[in-house]
Protein backbone atom coordinates (compact mmCIF):
# COMPACT_ATOMS: atom_id res chain seq x y z
CA UNK A 1 0.00 0.00 0.00
CA UNK A 2 1.27 3.49 -0.87
CA UNK A 3 2.02 5.68 2.10
CA UNK A 4 2.75 9.36 2.56
CA UNK A 5 5.65 9.61 4.95
CA UNK A 6 6.35 13.34 4.88
CA UNK A 7 3.99 15.61 6.80
CA UNK A 8 5.65 18.95 6.09
CA UNK A 9 7.19 20.63 3.04
CA UNK A 10 9.84 23.37 3.02
CA UNK A 11 9.26 26.00 0.33
CA UNK A 12 12.64 27.47 -0.61
CA UNK A 13 11.05 30.38 -2.47
CA UNK A 14 13.27 33.06 -3.98
CA UNK A 15 16.79 32.44 -2.73
CA UNK A 16 18.04 36.02 -2.51
CA UNK A 17 19.80 38.27 0.01
CA UNK A 18 17.63 38.89 3.13
CA UNK A 19 17.60 42.67 2.54
CA UNK A 20 16.42 42.13 -1.04
CA UNK A 21 13.83 39.65 0.19
CA UNK A 22 12.16 42.34 2.30
CA UNK A 23 12.07 44.62 -0.74
CA UNK A 24 10.45 41.84 -2.75
CA UNK A 25 7.98 41.26 0.09
CA UNK A 26 6.83 44.88 -0.09
CA UNK A 27 6.61 44.76 -3.89
CA UNK A 28 4.65 41.48 -3.99
CA UNK A 29 2.35 42.65 -1.20
CA UNK A 30 1.60 45.76 -3.26
CA UNK A 31 0.88 43.63 -6.34
CA UNK A 32 -1.42 41.35 -4.34
CA UNK A 33 -3.34 44.29 -2.85
CA UNK A 34 -3.70 45.85 -6.33
CA UNK A 35 -4.97 42.51 -7.64
CA UNK A 36 -7.68 42.31 -4.98
CA UNK A 37 -8.58 45.99 -5.27
CA UNK A 38 -8.64 46.12 -9.10
CA UNK A 39 -10.67 42.97 -9.57
CA UNK A 40 -12.89 43.88 -6.62
CA UNK A 41 -13.68 47.25 -8.23
CA UNK A 42 -14.49 45.58 -11.57
CA UNK A 43 -16.76 43.07 -9.81
CA UNK A 44 -18.44 45.79 -7.76
CA UNK A 45 -19.09 48.00 -10.80
CA UNK A 46 -20.66 45.11 -12.70
CA UNK A 47 -22.95 44.35 -9.76
CA UNK A 48 -23.92 47.98 -9.12
CA UNK A 49 -24.36 49.34 -12.66
CA UNK A 50 -27.36 47.95 -14.58
CA UNK A 51 -25.77 48.99 -17.90
CA UNK A 52 -23.08 46.38 -17.34
CA UNK A 53 -25.60 43.54 -16.86
CA UNK A 54 -24.74 42.01 -20.24
CA UNK A 55 -23.16 38.66 -21.20
CA UNK A 56 -19.77 40.27 -21.81
CA UNK A 57 -19.59 41.71 -18.29
CA UNK A 58 -21.17 38.60 -16.79
CA UNK A 59 -18.13 36.65 -18.00
CA UNK A 60 -15.81 39.48 -16.97
CA UNK A 61 -17.20 39.22 -13.42
CA UNK A 62 -16.31 35.52 -13.42
CA UNK A 63 -12.81 36.41 -14.65
CA UNK A 64 -12.45 38.88 -11.76
CA UNK A 65 -13.53 36.21 -9.24
CA UNK A 66 -11.06 33.73 -10.74
CA UNK A 67 -8.21 36.26 -10.67
CA UNK A 68 -8.76 37.12 -7.00
CA UNK A 69 -9.05 33.43 -6.07
CA UNK A 70 -6.09 32.51 -8.25
CA UNK A 71 -3.76 35.05 -6.63
CA UNK A 72 -5.06 34.18 -3.16
CA UNK A 73 -4.20 30.49 -3.63
CA UNK A 74 -0.46 31.29 -3.64
CA UNK A 75 0.32 34.89 -2.59
CA UNK A 76 -0.61 34.83 1.15
CA UNK A 77 1.59 31.82 1.90
CA UNK A 78 4.41 33.20 -0.25
CA UNK A 79 4.29 36.53 1.60
CA UNK A 80 4.13 34.81 5.00
CA UNK A 81 7.17 32.66 4.21
CA UNK A 82 9.17 35.70 3.08
CA UNK A 83 9.02 37.13 6.62
CA UNK A 84 9.26 33.81 8.50
CA UNK A 85 12.45 31.90 9.24
CA UNK A 86 10.67 28.55 8.92
CA UNK A 87 9.33 28.49 5.35
CA UNK A 88 7.17 25.42 5.80
CA UNK A 89 3.72 24.25 4.78
CA UNK A 90 1.91 21.09 5.85
CA UNK A 91 1.69 18.37 3.21
CA UNK A 92 -2.13 18.53 3.24
CA UNK A 93 -2.03 22.32 2.69
CA UNK A 94 0.54 21.82 -0.06
CA UNK A 95 -1.76 19.42 -1.94
CA UNK A 96 -4.72 21.77 -1.42
CA UNK A 97 -2.68 24.66 -2.82
CA UNK A 98 -1.77 22.58 -5.88
CA UNK A 99 -5.42 21.67 -6.41
CA UNK A 100 -6.70 25.26 -6.14
CA UNK A 101 -3.94 26.64 -8.35
CA UNK A 102 -4.72 24.11 -11.10
CA UNK A 103 -8.49 24.58 -10.81
CA UNK A 104 -8.37 28.37 -11.04
CA UNK A 105 -5.79 28.31 -13.85
CA UNK A 106 -7.98 26.04 -16.00
CA UNK A 107 -11.09 28.07 -15.13
CA UNK A 108 -9.40 31.28 -16.31
CA UNK A 109 -8.34 29.58 -19.53
CA UNK A 110 -11.90 28.45 -20.30
CA UNK A 111 -13.48 31.76 -19.28
CA UNK A 112 -11.19 33.56 -21.74
CA UNK A 113 -12.33 31.18 -24.49
CA UNK A 114 -15.99 31.80 -23.66
CA UNK A 115 -15.36 35.56 -23.67
CA UNK A 116 -13.84 35.33 -27.15
CA UNK A 117 -16.91 33.39 -28.33
CA UNK A 118 -19.15 36.08 -26.83
CA UNK A 119 -17.28 38.79 -28.77
CA UNK A 120 -17.44 36.67 -31.94
CA UNK A 121 -21.24 36.40 -31.68
CA UNK A 122 -21.64 40.09 -30.77
CA UNK A 123 -19.63 41.33 -33.77
CA UNK A 124 -20.23 38.68 -36.41
CA UNK A 125 -23.90 37.92 -35.61
CA UNK A 126 -25.22 41.08 -33.90
CA UNK A 127 -28.87 40.50 -34.86
CA UNK A 128 -28.88 37.04 -33.26
CA UNK A 129 -26.74 38.03 -30.26
CA UNK A 130 -29.48 38.17 -27.61
CA UNK A 131 -30.93 34.90 -28.87
CA UNK A 132 -27.62 33.00 -28.97
CA UNK A 133 -26.14 34.50 -25.78
CA UNK A 134 -29.23 34.22 -23.59
CA UNK A 135 -28.80 34.27 -19.82
CA UNK A 136 -29.49 30.53 -19.73
CA UNK A 137 -26.69 29.87 -22.24
CA UNK A 138 -24.32 32.20 -20.39
CA UNK A 139 -25.03 30.48 -17.07
CA UNK A 140 -24.46 27.03 -18.59
CA UNK A 141 -21.16 28.14 -20.19
CA UNK A 142 -19.89 29.67 -16.94
CA UNK A 143 -20.94 26.64 -14.86
CA UNK A 144 -19.28 24.29 -17.38
CA UNK A 145 -16.01 26.22 -17.07
CA UNK A 146 -15.99 25.92 -13.28
CA UNK A 147 -17.13 22.28 -13.08
CA UNK A 148 -14.75 21.01 -15.78
CA UNK A 149 -11.81 22.86 -14.20
CA UNK A 150 -12.37 21.41 -10.74
CA UNK A 151 -12.89 17.91 -12.19
CA UNK A 152 -9.61 18.13 -14.13
CA UNK A 153 -7.77 19.42 -11.06
CA UNK A 154 -9.30 16.56 -9.03
CA UNK A 155 -7.94 14.05 -11.56
CA UNK A 156 -4.41 15.41 -11.17
CA UNK A 157 -4.65 15.39 -7.38
CA UNK A 158 -6.01 11.82 -7.36
CA UNK A 159 -3.02 10.69 -9.43
CA UNK A 160 -0.66 12.55 -7.10
CA UNK A 161 -2.11 11.00 -3.94
CA UNK A 162 -1.54 7.48 -5.27
CA UNK A 163 2.21 8.15 -5.05
CA UNK A 164 4.37 7.51 -1.96
CA UNK A 165 6.04 10.68 -0.64
CA UNK A 166 9.14 9.98 1.39
CA UNK A 167 11.24 13.01 0.52
CA UNK A 168 13.07 15.16 -0.11
CA UNK A 169 11.03 17.62 1.92
CA UNK A 170 12.32 20.72 0.14
CA UNK A 171 10.54 22.32 -2.84
CA UNK A 172 12.59 24.77 -4.89
CA UNK A 173 9.62 27.07 -5.49
CA UNK A 174 7.53 29.71 -3.69
CA UNK A 175 4.40 27.52 -3.72
CA UNK A 176 3.43 23.88 -4.30
CA UNK A 177 3.49 23.97 -8.08
CA UNK A 178 2.48 20.59 -9.50
CA UNK A 179 5.81 19.76 -11.18
CA UNK A 180 7.64 20.60 -7.95
CA UNK A 181 5.29 18.29 -6.04
CA UNK A 182 6.18 15.47 -8.46
CA UNK A 183 9.80 15.76 -7.28
CA UNK A 184 8.74 14.97 -3.71
CA UNK A 185 7.56 11.50 -4.71
CA UNK A 186 9.83 8.51 -4.30
CA UNK A 187 8.21 6.64 -7.20
CA UNK A 188 7.87 6.83 -10.97
CA UNK A 189 5.84 9.93 -11.92
CA UNK A 190 5.81 9.38 -15.70
CA UNK A 191 2.06 8.74 -15.72
CA UNK A 192 1.47 12.01 -13.85
CA UNK A 193 3.69 13.90 -16.29
CA UNK A 194 1.95 12.39 -19.33
CA UNK A 195 -1.49 13.28 -17.94
CA UNK A 196 -0.28 16.80 -17.10
CA UNK A 197 1.09 17.30 -20.62
CA UNK A 198 -2.11 15.91 -22.19
CA UNK A 199 -4.18 18.19 -19.98
CA UNK A 200 -2.01 21.17 -20.95
CA UNK A 201 -2.55 20.43 -24.64
CA UNK A 202 -6.30 20.10 -24.06
CA UNK A 203 -6.76 23.31 -22.05
CA UNK A 204 -4.07 25.46 -23.68
CA UNK A 205 -3.49 24.62 -27.35
CA UNK A 206 -7.09 23.60 -28.11
CA UNK A 207 -8.69 26.71 -26.57
CA UNK A 208 -5.96 28.95 -28.00
CA UNK A 209 -6.79 27.71 -31.49
CA UNK A 210 -10.49 28.43 -30.86
CA UNK A 211 -9.63 31.94 -29.64
CA UNK A 212 -7.46 32.64 -32.69
CA UNK A 213 -10.19 31.40 -35.05
CA UNK A 214 -12.76 33.59 -33.27
CA UNK A 215 -10.61 36.70 -33.44
CA UNK A 216 -9.66 36.08 -37.06
CA UNK A 217 -13.36 36.04 -37.92
CA UNK A 218 -13.86 39.10 -35.70
CA UNK A 219 -11.05 41.00 -37.46
CA UNK A 220 -12.60 40.29 -40.85
CA UNK A 221 -15.97 41.49 -39.56
CA UNK A 222 -14.47 44.66 -38.03
CA UNK A 223 -12.79 45.57 -41.32
CA UNK A 224 -16.22 45.32 -42.95
CA UNK A 225 -17.86 47.80 -40.54
CA UNK A 226 -18.57 51.04 -42.41
CA UNK A 227 -18.99 53.23 -39.31
CA UNK A 228 -15.66 54.53 -38.04
CA UNK A 229 -17.02 54.82 -34.49
CA UNK A 230 -18.40 51.26 -34.60
CA UNK A 231 -15.10 49.93 -35.92
CA UNK A 232 -13.15 51.78 -33.21
CA UNK A 233 -15.40 50.51 -30.38
CA UNK A 234 -15.29 46.91 -31.60
CA UNK A 235 -11.53 46.99 -32.07
CA UNK A 236 -10.95 48.59 -28.65
CA UNK A 237 -12.97 45.92 -26.84
CA UNK A 238 -11.40 43.01 -28.72
CA UNK A 239 -7.85 44.34 -28.40
CA UNK A 240 -8.32 44.37 -24.60
CA UNK A 241 -9.37 40.72 -24.70
CA UNK A 242 -6.42 39.84 -26.94
CA UNK A 243 -3.96 41.48 -24.52
CA UNK A 244 -5.28 39.33 -21.66
CA UNK A 245 -5.35 36.18 -23.82
CA UNK A 246 -1.79 36.78 -25.06
CA UNK A 247 -0.39 37.27 -21.56
CA UNK A 248 -2.20 34.30 -20.07
CA UNK A 249 -1.64 31.71 -22.80
CA UNK A 250 1.90 32.86 -23.53
CA UNK A 251 3.03 32.38 -19.91
CA UNK A 252 1.12 29.10 -19.51
CA UNK A 253 2.53 27.51 -22.67
CA UNK A 254 6.06 28.64 -21.78
CA UNK A 255 5.72 27.14 -18.29
CA UNK A 256 4.01 23.83 -19.02
CA UNK A 257 4.94 22.97 -22.61
CA UNK A 258 8.34 24.54 -23.33
CA UNK A 259 11.39 22.21 -23.31
CA UNK A 260 13.50 22.22 -20.16
CA UNK A 261 16.79 24.12 -19.93
CA UNK A 262 19.60 24.25 -17.40
CA UNK A 263 18.01 27.37 -15.89
CA UNK A 264 14.48 26.04 -16.14
CA UNK A 265 13.68 26.01 -12.41
CA UNK A 266 14.50 29.70 -11.87
CA UNK A 267 12.73 30.59 -15.10
CA UNK A 268 9.68 28.64 -13.97
CA UNK A 269 9.59 30.61 -10.71
CA UNK A 270 9.50 33.91 -12.64
CA UNK A 271 6.88 32.58 -15.06
CA UNK A 272 4.78 31.24 -12.18
CA UNK A 273 4.98 34.61 -10.45
CA UNK A 274 3.89 36.42 -13.61
CA UNK A 275 1.21 33.82 -14.23
CA UNK A 276 -0.27 33.79 -10.72
CA UNK A 277 0.21 37.38 -9.52
CA UNK A 278 1.06 39.82 -12.33
CA UNK A 279 -1.60 38.60 -14.79
CA UNK A 280 -4.47 38.87 -12.27
CA UNK A 281 -3.22 42.36 -11.37
CA UNK A 282 -2.95 43.50 -15.02
CA UNK A 283 -6.34 42.16 -16.18
CA UNK A 284 -8.51 44.83 -14.50
CA UNK A 285 -6.06 47.55 -15.61
CA UNK A 286 -6.27 46.38 -19.22
CA UNK A 287 -10.07 46.24 -19.18
CA UNK A 288 -10.63 49.48 -17.27
CA UNK A 289 -8.06 51.61 -19.11
CA UNK A 290 -9.26 50.55 -22.57
CA UNK A 291 -12.97 50.17 -21.88
CA UNK A 292 -15.14 53.30 -21.97
CA UNK A 293 -18.15 51.46 -20.50
CA UNK A 294 -16.21 50.43 -17.39
CA UNK A 295 -14.83 53.95 -16.96
CA UNK A 296 -18.34 55.35 -17.44
CA UNK A 297 -19.73 52.98 -14.80
CA UNK A 298 -17.00 54.05 -12.37
CA UNK A 299 -17.89 57.72 -12.92
CA UNK A 300 -21.60 57.02 -12.37
CA UNK A 301 -20.97 55.08 -9.14
CA UNK A 302 -18.65 57.82 -7.80
CA UNK A 303 -21.23 60.50 -8.75
CA UNK A 304 -23.95 58.62 -6.87
CA UNK A 305 -21.70 58.38 -3.80
CA UNK A 306 -21.10 62.14 -3.91
CA UNK A 307 -24.82 62.81 -4.22
CA UNK A 308 -25.66 60.82 -1.08
Domain span including residue 201? 8-307
Which whole number is the average pLDDT over 177-201? 89
- How far is residue 223's CA from residue 154's CA, in Å, rounded to a whole number? 44
Q: How confident is the model at residue 231 (pLDDT cuts 50, 70, 90)?
A: low
Predicted confidence (pLDDT) at residue 267 exceeds the cutoff of 80: no
pLDDT at 192: 93
* Those residues with Cβ within 8 angstroms of residue 198's Cβ, 6 or more apart along the chain or in another chain: none
In a domain, 194, yes or no: yes
Q: Is the separation of the CB atoms in 177 and 272 below 8 Å?
A: yes
pLDDT at 217: 85
Predicted confidence (pLDDT) at residue 262 exceeds the cutoff of 80: no
Global confidence as pTM: 0.87
Ranges 4-18, 95-109, 177-191: which has the least confidence = 4-18
Predicted confidence (pLDDT) at residue 148 exceeds the cutoff of 90: yes
In a domain, 130, yes or no: yes
Which whole number is the average pLDDT over 26-36? 93
- How far is residue 252's CA from residue 275's CA, in Å, rounded to a whole number? 7
Query: What is the percent of the chain with per-residue pLDDT over 90, rounded to a whole number?
Result: 33
Highest mean pLDDT out of 2-11, 133-142, 255-264: 133-142
3-state secondary structure of 90: strand
In a domain, 1, yes or no: no
Predicted confidence (pLDDT) at residue 8 exceeds the cutoff of 70: yes
In a domain, 292, yes or no: yes
pLDDT at 34: 93
Dihedral-angle region of residue 167 (phi above 0 means left; psi in -120 to 50 means alpha; beta otherwise):
left
Predicted confidence (pLDDT) at residue 59 exceeds the cutoff of 90: yes
What does residue 23 show for φ and ψ, rounded to 5 degrees?
-65, -45
Residue pLDDT, tens place only, 155-174: 999 999 998 888 678 888 88
Q: How confident is the model at residue 1 (pLDDT cuts 50, 70, 90)?
A: very low
In a domain, 2, yes or no: no
Q: Is the separation of the CB atoms in 70 and 108 below 8 Å?
A: yes
pLDDT at 258: 65
What does residue 271 show for φ and ψ, rounded to 5 degrees?
-65, -40
Which whole number is the average pLDDT over 129-140? 94
Query: What is the percent of the chain with per-residue pLDDT over 70, rounded to a whole number?
Result: 89
pLDDT at 227: 66
pLDDT at 276: 84
Q: Is the separation of the CB atoms in 119 and 214 below 8 Å?
A: yes
Of 234 and 127, the structure prediction assigns the larger pLDDT to 127
Predicted confidence (pLDDT) at residue 132 exceeds the cutoff of 90: yes
Please report the DSSP string for 217-243 in residue order. Answer: HHHHHHHT---HHHHHHHHHHHHHHHH
3-state secondary structure of 173: coil
Residue pLDDT, tens place only, 292-304: 777 777 778 777 7
Q: What CATH number does residue 95 fall under?
A: 1.20.1070.10
Supply the mean pLDDT for the chain: 84
Which whole number is the average pLDDT over 238-260? 75
In a domain, 231, yes or no: yes
Predicted confidence (pLDDT) at residue 99 exceeds the cutoff of 90: yes
How many domains would you assign to the chain? 1
Amino acid sequence: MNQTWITEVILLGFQVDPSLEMLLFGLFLLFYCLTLMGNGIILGLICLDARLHTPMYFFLSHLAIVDMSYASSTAPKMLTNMVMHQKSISFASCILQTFLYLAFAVTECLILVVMSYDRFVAICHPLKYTLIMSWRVCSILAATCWVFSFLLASLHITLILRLPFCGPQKVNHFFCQIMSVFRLACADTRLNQVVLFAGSVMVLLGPLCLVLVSYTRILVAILGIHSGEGRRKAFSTCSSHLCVVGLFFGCAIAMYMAPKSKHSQEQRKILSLFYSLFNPMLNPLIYSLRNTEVKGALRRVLWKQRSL
